[in-house]
């Protein structure tokens, strides 16, 4: 690893030669593939593409936009580069050179070696990865439509009735959606002096959540953990929303004490019109007083037994005019804000709990875990999230998942849901999630007109296919069988700074067929997974690298270094040893 300053005009490093002229750094090198750049939905190999490293919120069909960029790449020929800046950078990957547009003050870190060595050294710039609890590797159940305690009780009933395992429940519609820390319908006396509310301040009589502490205890008794949705805003409420006096007091306190991101004239920065949560103020997590105030108001949730947070949003800095407590501006904040936000929640939650984050920037591995954001229930989106997961892994993100089958728009077909479930079974995090009934944005992108929950039992019921439930139960129970392997692999990944998902180019950079493969991956050291991405696809060609491989389901042996046809109606998975013999 070598660090060069912005004044360096020319240098040679390993297989590359670098030359800087003004804001452009040109890297001359031979390579077949360039990997990393954060979570990229358009391609795993970035050669031939131009990448803008800027955090962007995009509802479905992300294309070349991403919630989670990183100005870091590595090549199959042993060269890697990271630009040490939070400002926006642009990478143009040409045939034999990479042109990087840099801010004036950026330093550049160079790497040479195997992909594993370069990713490990890059991760080391930010600190160790965080190991999530073991329960993370079970099945997660999530739906925005669950808006009362009875919905959670029905979920527990159906998990037992249909004999489906699960380890985590994610609630989005739990709070008043103004403060994002008060249970919907709870009675309390608003506080104006910044003092946090505690469990004893609430009366849940008549609330849709009459006994949240008891509900959490029952979830724990059933072996499930609870995550609550969070968004980092002091919300501007809309015309159709009932006034929330606590939110009004919080906004006034944030403006008075400058706990929020500010403008040069001393007024609060607000999210621009046309953006998610327009008009809302944004907490400034570079200010220690903001952090203390923000987490204190949520500490009672941990006292209730909450096991983590779905830390959504964070893509809220939309212009250079924003001013932060630490002296930085929106030029850095557009990318850095989501990292500051999730790290403050990480420190607040502690190691026994977990975050599930959408947005991030370089060094994302220091915050567990991530999901791929919002996708429609379409086949093309399944291919998009596969590329996103593999490029995220190539950028050092260890623990990642997606909303299987998509969460937005009409329900997925049974076949898409089937293939997405199979792929999710062999990902670090397996989760099904649903938008509200009728759609997240009903006018722009309507969803199913009835119950559009993406649970296996609702899918079977809505399509009149009771046999589908038994088929899905197989994959959920297989996930339980995989948990010991996943947990052991997770510990090894943290210890060795290795992603849990691995593109074939990461493991075999000298193999041209592996370098050209963008639709298969390793899960840990042992399993090779080749998702089925097309409607009604039951088999596909799979490239097996060198060595002996065994069909995960049948035990049939194959010699590597060649392409085989595999599937037979289910996800092609191969193992380095016969699974039954090595794992029981």
Rg (CA), the chain: 24
Residues 6+ apart with CB under 8 A from 508: 514, 515, 545, 546
| CA–CA distance, 403 with 172 (Å, rounded to integer) | 14
Residues 339 and 357: their CA atoms lie apart, in Å, by 10
The closest alpha carbon to 58, from 291, 334, 276, 327, belongs to: 276
Cα separation values, 262 from 87, 237, 253, 283, 293, Å = 19, 19, 14, 9, 17
Q: Nearest-CA neighbor of 225 among 122, 363, 369?
A: 369
Peptide bond into 498 cis (omega under 30): no
Percent of residues in the chain assigned helix, strand, coil, to nearest 5? 30, 25, 50
Rounded to an integer, what distance in angstroms lies between the CA atom of residue 496 and that of residue 52? 30
Q: What's the CA gap between 126 and 92, in Å, rounded?
A: 25
- The span from the CA of 80 to the CA of 218, in Å, is 49
> 3-state class of 376 per DSSP?
strand
Residues 6+ apart with CB under 8 A from 566: 530, 539, 540, 542, 551, 572, 574
Q: Which helix (H) or strand (E) holds 548?
A: strand 548-551
Largest Cα separation within the chain, whole Å, is 70
Nearest to 46 by CA among 279, 395, 534, 302: 395
Q: Could you give the residue numbers annotated as active site?
A: 312, 315, 374
Residues 6+ apart with CB under 8 A from 75: 15, 29, 31, 32, 33, 34, 35
């Amino acid at each position: 690893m070598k660090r060069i300053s912005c004044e360096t005009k020319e240098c040679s490093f390993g297989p590359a030669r670098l030359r800087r002229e003004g804001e452009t750094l040109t890297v001359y090198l031979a390579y077949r593939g360039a990997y990393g750049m954060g979570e990229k939905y358009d391609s795993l190999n970035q050669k031939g593409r131009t990448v803008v490293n800027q955090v962007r919120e995009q509802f479905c069909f992300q294309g070349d936009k991403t919630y989670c960029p990183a100005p870091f790449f590595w090549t199959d020929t042993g060269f890697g580069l990271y630009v040490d800046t939070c400002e926006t950078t642009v990478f143009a990957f040409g045939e034999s050179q990479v042109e990087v547009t840099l801010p004036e003050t950026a330093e550049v870190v160079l790497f040479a070696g195997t992909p594993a060595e370069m990713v490990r050294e890059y991760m080391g710039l930010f600190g160790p990865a965080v190991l999530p609890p073991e329960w993370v590797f079970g099945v997660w159940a999530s739906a925005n439509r669950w808006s009362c305690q009875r919905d959670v009780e029905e979920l527990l009933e159906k998990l037992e009735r249909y004999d489906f395992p699960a380890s985590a429940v994610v609630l989005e519609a739990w709070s008043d959606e103004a403060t994002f820390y008060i249970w919907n319908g709870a009675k309390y006396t608003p506080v104006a002096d910044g003092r946090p509310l505690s469990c004893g301040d609430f009366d849940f009589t008549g609330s849709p959540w009459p006994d949240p502490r008891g509900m959490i205890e029952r979830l724990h008794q059933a072996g499930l953990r609870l995550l609550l949705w969070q968004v980092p805003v002091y919300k501007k409420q809309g015309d159709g929303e009932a006034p929330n006096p606590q939110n009004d007091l919080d906004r006034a306190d944030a403006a008075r004490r400058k706990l929020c991101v500010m403008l040069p004239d001393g007024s609060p920065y607000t999210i621009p019109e046309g953006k998610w949560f327009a008009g809302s103020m944004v907490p400034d997590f570079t200010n220690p007083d903001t952090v203390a105030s923000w987490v204190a108001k949520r500490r009672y949730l941990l006292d209730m037994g909450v096991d983590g947070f779905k830390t959504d949003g964070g893509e809220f800095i939309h212009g250079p005019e924003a001013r932060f407590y630490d002296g930085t501006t929106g030029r850095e904040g557009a990318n850095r804000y989501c990292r500051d936000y999730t790290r403050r929640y990480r420190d607040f939650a502690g190691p026994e709990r977990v975050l599930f984050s959408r947005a991030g920037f370089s060094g994302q591995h220091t915050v567990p875990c991530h999901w791929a954001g919002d996708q429609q229930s379409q086949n093309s989106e399944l291919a998009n999230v596969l590329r996103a997961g593999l490029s995220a892994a190539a950028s050092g993100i260890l623990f990642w998942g997606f909303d299987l089958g998509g969460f937005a728009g009409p329900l997925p077909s049974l076949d898409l849901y089937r293939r997405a479930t199979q792929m999710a079974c062999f990902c670090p995090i397996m989760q099904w999630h649903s938008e509200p009934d009728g759609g997240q944005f009903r006018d722009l992108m309507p969803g199913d007109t009835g119950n559009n929950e993406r649970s296996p039992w609702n899918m079977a019921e809505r399509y009149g296919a009771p046999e589908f439930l038994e088929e899905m139960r197989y994959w959920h129970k297989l996930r339980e069988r995989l948990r010991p392997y996943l947990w052991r692999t997770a510990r090894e990944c943290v210890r060795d700074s290795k992603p849990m998902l691995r593109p074939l180019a990461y493991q075999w950079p000298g193999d041209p067929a592996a370098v050209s493969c963008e639709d298969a991956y390793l899960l840990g050291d042992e399993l090779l997974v080749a998702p089925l991405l097309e409607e009604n696809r039951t088999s596909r060609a799979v490239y097996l690298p060198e060595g002996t491989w065994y069909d995960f389901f049948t035990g049939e042996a194959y010699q590597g270094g060649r392409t085989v046809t595999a599937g037979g109606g289910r996800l092609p998975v191969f193992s380095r040893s016969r699974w039954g013999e090595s794992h029981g």
